[in-house]
Amino acid sequence: MAGSSPFDQDSRAVGLVAEQGAGDNAAPLSVSELSASLKRVVEDRFGFVRVRGELSGVKRAASGHFYCSLKDESAVIDAVMWKGTAQRLAFRPEDGIEVVASGKLTTYPGRSKYQIVVETMEIAGEGALLALLEKTRARLAAEGLFAPERKRPLPYLPRVIGVVTSPTGAVIRDILHRLADRFPSHVLVWPVLVQGEGAAAQVAAAVDGFSALPDHGPVPRPDLVIVARGGGSIEDLWAFNEEIVVRAIAASTIPVISAVGHETDTSLADFAADVRAPTPTAAAEMAVPVREDLRNQIADLGLRKRRCALRPVTMGRERLEARAQRLPRPEALLAPAAQRLDDLAERLRRGLKDRAGIERGRLHEAASHLSLPLLRNQVAHAAQRLERSGLSPALALRRLARAQDSFAPLDRLLPQLHPDKPLSRGYVRVMGKSGQTLTSREQAVREKELLLRFHDGELPVSTDSAPAKKPRPAAAPPGQGDLF
């Protein structure tokens, strides 16, 4: 019948067992044969395609392969990126990023699905790139990598400055020239790629390498690190938006200045760094002060120091002069005392003169009553009275001699009777606390402390210990009788 399908058969021909009729050359295919045929047709027809869509369900397998889906408003196609291709990506695939994927279409017989094997993947336009940048910035900011409290102050005068940049570009020459003009410093350059494949990993390794240097190692440890690159498009600067670079700058133990691009260019490295410089030249200006300005400042501080040191002396001299002007003259201070001294001197002179006159008169009066014959007469009368009294010096001397003779035996006996005399023969003199000699046991018992005097010194002893009791005689054992 016209328009009939090969699958239209007479119901009478349908049975339980499949049979091949006469003239039928459509042998049944296995599922694997059909899948292989379909795979060849799809790969031959779509050997190279470029697909634009939004990433969805991005995941990385343990083997390193990437699996995702590309979708638009009305369709979805699965995509796979093998490990070697995924390692060469210039960005990190995430859900919601609009990309352009290039590759070939193939089928996956295990699930009866078709998918695209991606060879290259690029962000679909600058708008999508900025969207990815903003999404990454928000995610890292939520982790606190851009927090203001994490920012560290730059050293005022770094001894060693580390620079992470390309060694062949104009950036390093501008930095070195600016540092030489302002304040010549020791600069360590860590050469890296600043764009293209592998640039982000090299920049991150350089920042980590500077932080890992020991303080007193063969290579001096920088006090400040400058991450620099010249201007360019957002694609050229994309290495400094990579998460690996941002995390390395945030984890750096050395203060970092980010000088990526021109003043209008902004990268995630600028947010993570301690200070952002609009240009590499400006970063060199931020790193060190102007040496001449520093010299002038030191000279000015020295002048101010000298002025401050001399100011109290000047002010003290002025105050002293002002007070000295208000003081009276020394002549005025001494005038009353000088006048009083003159008055007392005059009074003393008059008093001595009057006293000398009075005493001279008394002396003349006493001298008028004295005469040599009168004195001789009085001496003679006194000698006569002495003779009549029977006293003469010879009698007094003889009586004194007899008294000395009577005391001589006592003087010889006195040392023998002294209580300390027997001490040299081994005796001891017992004395109480007040120094009196004790001659009996009762007196010694009443004293709490005794002083024993020997011939060569004294020894204090105490009487607090109770006297020892006499032991009683042992009683005879019972049952022992008299033998007699």
Query: What CATH number should be reported for the domain holding residue 166?
Result: 3.40.50.261
The predicted model gives 35-51 an average pLDDT of: 80
Pick the residue with more confidence: 262 or 22?
262
* Residue finishing a domain among 238, 258, 293: 293
Domain count, the chain: 2
Same domain, 155 and 289: yes
The answer as to whether 118 is a domain residue is: yes
Pick the residue with more confidence: 35 or 228?
228
* Residue finishing a domain among 233, 260, 293: 293
Same domain, 165 and 84: no
The answer as to whether 216 is a domain residue is: yes
CATH number of the domain bearing residue 49: 2.40.50.140
Q: What's the pLDDT tens digit per position in 118-168?
A: 888 877 766 667 777 788 888 888 999 999 999 999 999 999 999 999 998
Structure-block tokens of residue 348: 């003393």
**Does residue 248 register a pLDDT over 90?**
yes
482 Cβ partners below 8 Å, 6+ apart? Answer: none
Q: What's the pLDDT tens digit per position in 316-334?
A: 988 988 888 888 887 787 8
Q: How many CB atoms lie within 10 A of CB 305?
A: 10
The answer as to whether 272 is a domain residue is: yes
- Which range marks the domain in which residue 119 is found? 31-124
**Does residue 402 register a pLDDT over 80?**
yes
Same domain, 162 and 280: yes
Q: Which of 453, 402, 411, 457 is nearest to 431 (CA)?
A: 453
Edge to edge, the sheet with strand 429-431 lists 429-431, 449-454, 457-462
Pick the residue with more confidence: 196 or 302?
302
> pLDDT band at residue 476, thresholds of 50, 70 and 90?
very low
Same domain, 175 and 248: yes
Mean pLDDT, the chain, integer: 82
The answer as to whether 476 is a domain residue is: no
Q: CA 375, CA 364: separation in Å to the nearest integer?
A: 17
Same domain, 93 and 201: no
The answer as to whether 173 is a domain residue is: yes
Pick the residue with more confidence: 322 or 42?
322
Q: What's the pLDDT tens digit per position in 305-314?
A: 999 998 998 8
The answer as to whether 212 is a domain residue is: yes
The answer as to whether 337 is a domain residue is: no
**Does residue 426 register a pLDDT over 50?**
yes
Same domain, 88 and 171: no
**Does residue 474 register a pLDDT over 50?**
no
Same domain, 214 and 262: yes
The predicted model gives 114-120 an average pLDDT of: 86
* Residue finishing a domain among 84, 109, 124: 124
pLDDT at residue 192, as a whole number: 94
Same domain, 177 and 236: yes
Q: Which of 262, 286, 256, 231 is nearest to 163 (CA)?
A: 256
Edge to edge, the sheet with strand 275-276 lists 186-191, 160-165, 224-229, 256-260, 275-276
pLDDT at residue 195, as a whole number: 87
pLDDT at residue 258, as a whole number: 94
Same domain, 100 and 192: no
The answer as to whether 93 is a domain residue is: yes
Q: Which of 104-113, 226-235, 271-280 has the lowest mean pLDDT?
A: 104-113
pLDDT at residue 1, as a whole number: 44
Query: Cα dist. 445→280, 431, 449, 460, 462 in Å?
Result: 108, 12, 9, 15, 10
